């Protein structure tokens, strides 16, 4: 009799333990989601951006962020279920973008991230969400109207940039190339007259030209020297997140938020942007 009672008690305890563990496991899943519940009690999403590109991704002195990439990332995060105060922006420099995604440091990256075949071997891309072009930024009274006008002129870009080398190798072999550590230094050199032109993506140049201290001083040459399809980078294999981001980007275009973001961030530079690209439409 005693043995039978013990067996019954043991079975009941085991059943209770299983139920307890099941409830705990379910509760843990609810509180540890990174796919976007928005109301998940303190859930955060980490998004990679640039910190030093006015008009695209800029960390301001007060700690806030501004720029077209920031606006796109914030809109996408909202569609994934996150409020602005649940977003943590993480600086992702160009050389570390693939590693940041592979390590899981960020959920996705919106940082002038051009889609190309080499990068697609390492990460997946949503978008594109902007078609940019390599261009020149010159003073408003400059007579530089085409690439060959750079022969004998001083051309600036950042150290290691392919943009300036492309111009020197293919368009203006007699241009005097000057390289600085950042585009801010190139812009300062353009303002002082040390250089005659700065080259990189037109969106980046427009972002600098749109700053209040430079308003009316610079213009884009509008040469369209290359096509740069900006995509949102996602960890390789995370197709579910890619699909969600693509739907968010389509909605951003359809409800007018995309156009507003372009105007807000690039308007003062009179940036003649391309229309919003269709998802998956890569311009070669």
Q: What is the CATH number of domain 45-132+228-269?
A: 3.40.190.10
Query: What is the mean pLDDT of the segment spanning 56-68?
Result: 97
What CATH class is the domain 134-220? alpha beta
176-185: long-range pairs with CB below 8 Å, 24+: 176/152, 178/154, 180/156, 182/52, 182/158, 183/52, 183/53, 183/157, 183/158, 183/208, 184/52, 184/208
Whole-number pLDDT of residue 124: 98
The answer to whether 47 and 87 are in contact (CB under 8 A) is: yes
pLDDT reading at 54 higher than 60: yes
Structure tokens given for 68? 């077209």
DSSP code string of 78-107: HHHT--GGGEEEEE--GGGHHHHHHHTS-S
Alpha carbon distance 242, 90 (integer Å) = 19
Alpha carbon distance 82, 41 (integer Å) = 11
Alpha carbon distance 177, 231 (integer Å) = 29
Give the CA distances from residue 213 to residues 56, 152, 158, 208, 284, in Å, rounded to whole numbers and listed in that order: 17, 29, 21, 10, 35
- Listed in sequence order, the DSSP H helices in the chain are 2-31, 68-80, 97-103, 117-120, 162-170, 183-192, 202-209, 239-254, 257-266
Whole-number pLDDT of residue 42: 54
pLDDT reading at 23 higher than 50: no
Whole-number pLDDT of residue 70: 98
Whole-number pLDDT of residue 3: 44
pLDDT tens string 160-192? 777 888 888 899 999 999 999 888 999 999 999
**pLDDT averaged over every residue in the chain:** 87
Structure tokens given for 238? 């995370």
pLDDT tens string 241-284? 999 999 999 999 999 999 999 999 998 887 889 999 999 999 99
pLDDT tens string 128-150? 999 999 999 999 999 999 999 99
Alpha carbon distance 134, 170 (integer Å) = 13
Q: Which of 22-26, 90-94, 154-158 has the lowest mean pLDDT?
A: 22-26
DSSP letter, residue 114: B
> For the chain, what are the domain ranges?
45-132+228-269, 134-220
> Residue 134 belongs to what H/E stretch?
strand 134-139
Alpha carbon distance 259, 273 (integer Å) = 10
Percent of the residues in the chain that have a pLDDT greater than 70, as a whole number = 85
pLDDT tens string 87-116? 999 999 888 999 999 999 999 999 999 999
pLDDT tens string 188-229? 999 999 999 999 999 999 999 999 999 899 999 999 999 999
Fold agreement between 45-132+228-269 and 134-220: yes
């Amino acid at each position: 009799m005693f043995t039978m009672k013990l067996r019954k008690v043991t079975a009941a305890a085991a059943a209770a333990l299983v139920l307890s563990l099941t409830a705990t496991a379910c509760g843990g899943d609810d509180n540890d989601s990174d796919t976007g519940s928005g109301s998940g009690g303190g859930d955060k999403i980490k998004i990679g951006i640039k910190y030093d590109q006015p008009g695209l991704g800029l960390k301001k002195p007060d700690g806030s962020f501004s720029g077209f990439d920031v606006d796109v990332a914030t809109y996408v995060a909202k569609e994934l279920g996150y409020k602005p105060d649940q977003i943590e922006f993480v600086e992702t420099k160009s050389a570390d973008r693939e590693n940041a995604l592979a390590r899981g440091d960020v959920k996705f990256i919106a940082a002038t991230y051009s889609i190309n075949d080499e990068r697609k071997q390492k990460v997946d891309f949503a978008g594109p969400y902007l078609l940019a072009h390599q261009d020149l930024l010159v003073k408003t009274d400059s007579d530089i109207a085409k690439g060959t006008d750079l022969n004998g002129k001083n051309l600036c870009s950042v150290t290691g940039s392919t943009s300036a080398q492309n111009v020197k190798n293919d368009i203006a072999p007699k241009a005097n190339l000057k390289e600085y550590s950042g585009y801010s230094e190139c812009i300062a050199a353009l303002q002082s007259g040390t250089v005659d032109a700065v080259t990189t993506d037109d969106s980046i140049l427009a972002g600098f030209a749109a700053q209040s201290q430079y308003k009316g001083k610079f213009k884009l040459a509008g040469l369209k020297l290359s096509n740069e399809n900006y995509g949102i980078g996602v960890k390789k294999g995370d197709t579910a997140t890619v699909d969600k981001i693509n739907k968010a980007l389509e909605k951003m275009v359809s409800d007018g938020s995309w156009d507003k973001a372009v105007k807000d961030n690039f308007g003062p530079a009179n940036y003649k942007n391309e229309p919003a690209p269709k998802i998956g439409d890569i311009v070669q």
